Amino acid sequence: MQMDEEKIDDAVLALLWLTLHDGDRAWKGFDWDAMDRLYKKGLIANPAGKAKSVVLSDEGLQRSEELFRALFTRST
């Protein structure tokens, strides 16, 4: 099976929005490869380190909310 890393990254970024706190921080308990790709795309700060959360960039915050709404909400 071949994985689509772009779809994985989108899902992880959307789930980061779900765990958002302190305005721009999210818990970083996701796959390290996906987190590293999001970092390289400029959507999050460097996830390496002892902190249990990561800072989302302005672009990352906007994109994470858009993805969360697209992937995980229902139309009424």
Average pLDDT over residues 29-36: 94
pLDDT on residue 76: 76
Beta strands in 1-76 (DSSP E): 20-21, 25-27, 53-55
Buried b (16+ CB within 10 A) or exposed e, 22-36: eebbbebebeeebbe
Domain boundaries, the chain: 5-71
Mean pLDDT of the chain: 95
- Could you tell me the sign of the dihedral formed by the alpha carbons of 14, 16, 19, 20, in that order? negative
Are 8 and 34 in contact by the 8 Å Cβ rule? The answer is yes
| pLDDT 10s digits, 9-29 | 999 999 999 999 999 999 999
Q: Can you give the pTM of this predicted structure?
A: 0.91
72 Cβ contact list (under 8 Å, min separation 6)? 14, 18
Name the CATH architecture for the domain at 5-71: Orthogonal Bundle (1.10)
